[in-house]
Amino acid sequence: MPDFIKTYVRVVDRFNRRVGIFAMYLIFAMFAILLYSSLSKAFHLPANWTLESAQFTMAA
């Protein structure tokens, strides 16, 4: 296989790994937002921004 194809595959693989790690941390951020939403509703102080923020985080 030519070297430029191997280099291209390595670059794309490295980029995809970074995007995957970033997406993993976004999922943790979404969990934290939804946990805060649940806790605020339990104390009868619901925050209106939490559901929309969780949706934006999931879309990202």
- Please tell me the predicted confidence (pLDDT) of residue 5: 94
Please tell me what DSSP assigns to residue 43.
T
- Please tell me the predicted confidence (pLDDT) of residue 27: 92
- Please tell me the predicted confidence (pLDDT) of residue 58: 87
Contact 16, 8 (CB under 8 A): no
pLDDT digits (tens, 9 = 90+) for 6-37: 999 999 999 999 999 999 999 999 999 999 99
- Please tell me the predicted confidence (pLDDT) of residue 47: 86
- Please tell me the predicted confidence (pLDDT) of residue 60: 83
- Please tell me the predicted confidence (pLDDT) of residue 48: 87
Q: What is the pTM of this model?
A: 0.71
Q: What is the largest CA-CA distance in the chain?
A: 63
Contact 50, 37 (CB under 8 A): yes
